[in-house]
Amino acid sequence: KMQCVTAAPSTIAVRATRVVNARRGRDASVAGRYARIVTNAAGEVSFRDGPGTAFMTMTPKEAELRARVSDTQQWIDAWVVKTGTFDFGAVVKYIAATAFEVGAITTALFAAQKFCLGNLHATSLGAAKAIVAVMFFMLAFRSRVFSPLNASRPKIANERKAKQERKRPSWTPPAVVFPLVWISMGFLRSLSTMMVFATTGTVVHPAIIALVAHLSIGDTWNSINNVEKKLGAAAVGVLFVVSSAYNVVAQYYNVIPTAGYVIAPLAVWLTIASALVWNIWAINGKQPLYPTKPRAFN
């Protein structure tokens, strides 16, 4: 039975009852004793001198004080960010990383076209289309391996912690929705790109390179939003992500209209996602809409 459980790792002194040697049928509980326990982020409890049952209490004043300390620290962190100076180096880093990724993926596609897909398109179109479909399905989820930045995607297991760190609007979809949607988007990217390849005979067509640019911009945005957690810069950056998606739809449509229709849901989904990003920015202190260096204290 727990009356109060800490949510973050801590070591606290509590009044506890420890059950000892219960199998022997003896009343081996030691009541009214102070013990030291350790709680982790998952709420698991371990005693310094063995397992047991803890009864923890926190007075209203202690709870209020703890909440005030937490709020104050959040305010200080936000103030340090808001009063920071413009980080020109970060902007250069984002642009350079995106350009590098576009170049790296394009080089890989050029090699695949020259040594495999070019001849295969002429001799065995079905096999070539299958290879392209698999390539771009994998690229939809692993394009970040070409990025020099840490572009990790958020995991469902970390969603609870993420919700504690930043507020979300009430209409935010459940965490499980996002991977399902992105898997669907992966299929649409793969299918539409296969159609463009079948029509043009090359994976280095400008329309497909537009998709490569879109993926690269998205990876850079993931680094800004999920790794660096710069909500203001991410709010502006997501506009580049969604704009590049609409460009892909237009480019694919110009090659073969059906391909444009197939990939169009990507742009619709990212429009919704961008609205979510801007709402998150608005309810979490409205950080500067550009990367900043933390305020220096002399």
Instruction: Determine the Cα–Cα distance for residues 277 and 35; give it in Å rounded to an integer.
Output: 45
Instruction: Determine the Cα–Cα distance for residues 139 and 148; give it in Å rounded to an integer.
Output: 16
Cα 133-218-197 angle, rounded to 5 deg: 25
Q: Is 201 exposed, middle or buried (0-12, 13-18, 19+ CB in 10 A)?
A: middle
Dihedral angle, C-alpha 104, 109, 110, 112, nearest 10 ° = 130
Which residues face 15 on adjacent strands? 34, 55
Q: Is 249 exposed, middle or buried (0-12, 13-18, 19+ CB in 10 A)?
A: buried
pTM over 0.85: no
The pLDDT score that the predictor gives to residue 19 is: 37
Tens place of pLDDT for every residue, the chain, 298 residues? 344 444 444 444 343 334 333 333 444 344 444 444 445 444 455 545 555 555 455 677 777 788 777 767 665 666 555 556 878 899 999 999 999 999 999 999 999 999 989 888 888 888 999 999 999 999 998 999 999 998 777 665 555 556 556 788 888 888 888 889 999 999 999 999 999 999 999 999 999 999 999 999 999 999 999 888 889 999 999 999 999 999 999 999 999 999 999 999 999 999 999 999 999 998 888 888 888 876 665 5
Q: What tokens does 223 get? A: 């680094």
The pLDDT score that the predictor gives to residue 154 is: 67
Residues 196/255, Cβ–Cβ less than 8 Å: yes
216, 223, 224, 228 from 87: Cα distances, Å: 21, 16, 13, 13
Residues 260/252, Cβ–Cβ less than 8 Å: yes
Instruction: Determine the Cα–Cα distance for residues 211 and 267; give it in Å rounded to an integer.
Output: 12
Instruction: Determine the Cα–Cα distance for residues 201 and 121; give it in Å rounded to an integer.
Output: 6
The pLDDT score that the predictor gives to residue 291 is: 86
Cα torsion 64, 70, 76, 81: sign: negative
The pLDDT score that the predictor gives to residue 34 is: 40
Instruction: Determine the Cα–Cα distance for residues 154 and 280; give it in Å rounded to an integer.
Output: 15
Residue-range domains of the chain with CATH: 10-79 (no CATH), 86-293 (1.20.1260.100)
Instruction: Determine the Cα–Cα distance for residues 239 and 124; give it in Å rounded to an integer.
Output: 40
The pLDDT score that the predictor gives to residue 278 is: 94
